[in-house]
Amino acid sequence: MRLVDSQQMQIMDRYTIDEVGIPGLVLMENAARSWFAAAIPYLTKAQHIYVLCGSGNNGGDGYAIARILVNHGYDCSVIAVKKPKSQDCRMNAKIWSHFGETLSWSEMTTQISLRKGTFSWIDAILGTGISTPIQGELRERMDTINQLPGSKIGVDVPSGINSSTGDIMGVALQMDATITFQKEKVGHHLYPGKQYSGIVICRQISILEYFPKMAQEFHLIDEALVEKLLPQRTPTGYKNQFGHLITWGGRAGTMGASWMASYAGLKIGAGLSTAAIPQSEQSVFWQQAPELMTYPQEQITGDWLNHFDALVLGCGLGREENKWAGIQKILHQANLPYVLDADAFYGIQDWKKLSLDQAILTPHPGEFAQISGYPKPRNNEERMEQGLAFVRKYPTTLVLKGAPSLVFSSKGDLYINSTGNVGMATAGSGDVLAGFLGGLLAQGLAPLQAALLGTWLHGKSGDLAKEQAGEAALTATDLIRNLGKVLKGLQPSS
């Protein structure tokens, strides 16, 4: 699903008004009516509704929503958290004055202390354009609103959430649901914005989805997208047609990492999976998974690796310096798509000498700081900027693991994963992801396709494991175990 940031939404809005010719007030009316239709399940006529309005166009939406609520028999008041300033906001505030009351902040606090029962709150204070931290009186008022009882429903984005990054701009309002317009925003899907948005509902309001050539596109990795990427299996297919994956990793004490990556690759559909592991550790695999093959690392050359369809390098490998030259040699000689994970990142000396167009890199935050030289990001904005800067310098497919995981294409487009949970922050989870990605590469998917599909399946298997056992008890092997159920529930696109 295509997402937009604040700038892209503003371009679409202005194009619709200036070029298409739909006045801003008409769009505002469309927004209010669409918002009301979507919000009906969250509203009750037994509760008094307070619409919190700001000074800009988001506030204008709020005044129009209040009028529609009153017209449909709801008990409603407007609180002017900030005085109307934009032209369309002033116009809708003027129209509202003929339909109902507008309370000042002090009048509202007095009224709720006297009213009995519960309330509903509609947040129309700040919209998508916020870019600086909220301070002073507005911050104090928003802190107070967060403490008030009753359900809260947002208009477009929760006030205080940066719609381009999901970061909190000083303070933000916690919503039970947020009804947004035309396109969901990047900030709805990045924490903490994802948490503050609650349930996100998107409604069309006749804004033309105009996308001039952008420096960066934003997408959500959702079920509709991944169903288009599932590898097709013909009735007459045989194992060699489904690809042969080789994983290179493992050492005494960390063989589990190599085993999980190898078995995950087989489980996601690779026809064959071989683990290149130390000669001394061969028996570990035979005991755990008879379907897997092994080969001694000591006997492998880069040319020999070209007999395989994809490589996963790094899981449980270790960071001893005597392995680094071997890693470089393998990557220079091998001509096949590959996944770099974990310890492999510590052996790369010169990224420019690698065939990164065939690669998927899967670092966690500490590993990304190691390979990029960037400091650990303090917020989503820095995380997104660093990922984009890296793929522009080294065009490749980059999976930045986290909550949520971000996938950057070699062109710089950003894909936000919609699956996964904190229970997946457990030993071996990254090894399973690497194996999933390698298994998809072995089946012939391009690196970006494999990264999108594999990352989503990884998170979805974790979500299923969470439903079964909770977050604390979730382990990496649960992800492998649940993959089949996830795959079975998908409908491949023909």
Q: How many C-beta atoms surround the C-beta of residue 380 within 10 A?
A: 21
Under DSSP, the state recorded for 163 is: T
488 among annotated binding-site residues: no
Residues 147, 158: Cα–Cα separation, whole Å: 15
18 is in an annotated binding site: no
Confirm or deny that 156 is annotated as ligand binding.
Answer: yes
How do residues 264-320 score in pLDDT, each as one tens digit? Answer: 999 999 999 999 999 888 776 767 788 999 999 888 876 788 899 999 999 999 888
Question: Which residue matches tokens 């897997």?
Answer: 292
DSSP calls for 394-461 = S-SEEEE-SSS-EEE-TT--EEEE----GGG-STTHHHHHHHHHHHHHHTT--HHHHHHHHHHHHHHH
Please indicate if the annotation marks 133 as binding a ligand.
yes
Q: How many CB atoms lie within 10 A of CB 27?
A: 22
Q: Taking the C-alpha atoms of 319, 320, 323 and 325 in order, what is their torsion angle to the nearest 10 degrees?
A: 90
Q: Is 55 annotated as a binding residue?
A: no
62 annotated to bind ligand: no
Q: How far apart are CA 453 and CA 490, in angstroms?
A: 12
Instruction: Map residue 230 onto helix, strand or coil.
Output: coil
Residue ranges and CATH numbers for the domains of the chain are: 21-210 (3.40.50.10260), 224-488 (3.40.1190.20)
* 3-state secondary structure (DSSP) of residue 181: strand
pLDDT in tens, 467-480: 999 999 999 999 99
To the question of whether residue 58 is assigned a binding role by annotation, the answer is yes
Asked if residue 154 belongs to a known ligand binding site, the reply is no
- CA dihedral over 326, 331, 333, 335, signed as positive or negative: positive
How many Å apart are CA 29 and CA 92, to the nearest integer? 9
The amino acid occupying position 80 is A
Strands (DSSP E) along 239-393, which ranges? 244-248, 272-277, 293-296, 310-313, 338-340, 359-361
Closest CA to 362 of 379, 345, 383: 345
**According to the annotation, is 403 in a ligand binding site?**
yes
Whether 271 contacts 240, CB under 8 Å: yes
Instruction: Give the count of beta carbons closer than 10 Å to the beta carbon of residue 140.
Output: 13
Residue 277, helix vs strand vs coil: strand
For residue 48, what is the enclosing H or E element?
Answer: strand 48-53
Specify the pTM.
0.95
Token pair 């090894």 in the structure block, residue: 431
Distance of CA 279 to the CA centre of its chain: 40
Is 131 one of the annotated binding-site residues? yes
The reply, when asked if residue 316 is annotated as ligand binding, is: yes
User: How many whole angstroms separate alpha carbon 147 and alpha carbon 78?
Assistant: 19
364 is in an annotated binding site: yes
250 has binding-site annotation: no
Report the candidate in 166, 154, 195 with the shortest Cα–Cα distance to residue 414: 166
Say whether 373 counts as a known binding-site residue.
Answer: no
**CA separation, residue 493 to residues 5, 227, 228, 307 (Å):** 29, 6, 5, 30
447 annotated to bind ligand: no
61 is known to lie in a ligand binding site: yes
| 431 belongs to an annotated ligand binding site | yes
Q: How far is the C-alpha of 11 from the C-alpha of 301, rounded, in Å? A: 53
Q: Confirm or deny that 59 is annotated as ligand binding.
A: yes
Per-residue tens of pLDDT for the chain, all 494 residues: 999 999 999 999 999 999 999 999 999 999 999 999 999 999 999 899 999 999 999 999 999 999 999 999 999 999 999 999 999 999 999 999 999 999 999 898 888 887 777 899 999 999 998 989 999 999 999 999 999 989 999 999 999 999 999 999 999 999 999 999 999 999 999 999 999 999 999 999 999 998 887 779 999 999 999 999 999 888 898 898 999 999 999 888 899 999 999 999 999 999 999 999 998 887 767 677 889 999 998 888 767 888 999 999 999 998 887 777 777 877 888 889 999 999 999 888 788 888 899 999 999 999 999 999 999 999 999 999 999 999 999 999 999 999 999 999 999 999 999 999 999 999 999 999 999 999 999 999 999 999 999 999 999 999 999 999 999 999 999 999 999 999 999 987 76
Burial 267-299 (b: 16+ CB within 10 A, else e): bbbbbbbbbbbbeebeebbeeebeebbbbebee
Annotated binding residue 127: yes
Q: Is 303 known as a binding-site position?
A: no
Cβ neighbors of 53 (< 8 A, separation 6 or more) are 59, 60, 62, 63, 66, 78, 79, 80, 81, 82, 84, 89, 93, 124, 125
Residue 430 annotated as lining a ligand binding site: yes
Please, are residues 43 and 74 in contact by the beta-carbon 8 Å criterion? yes
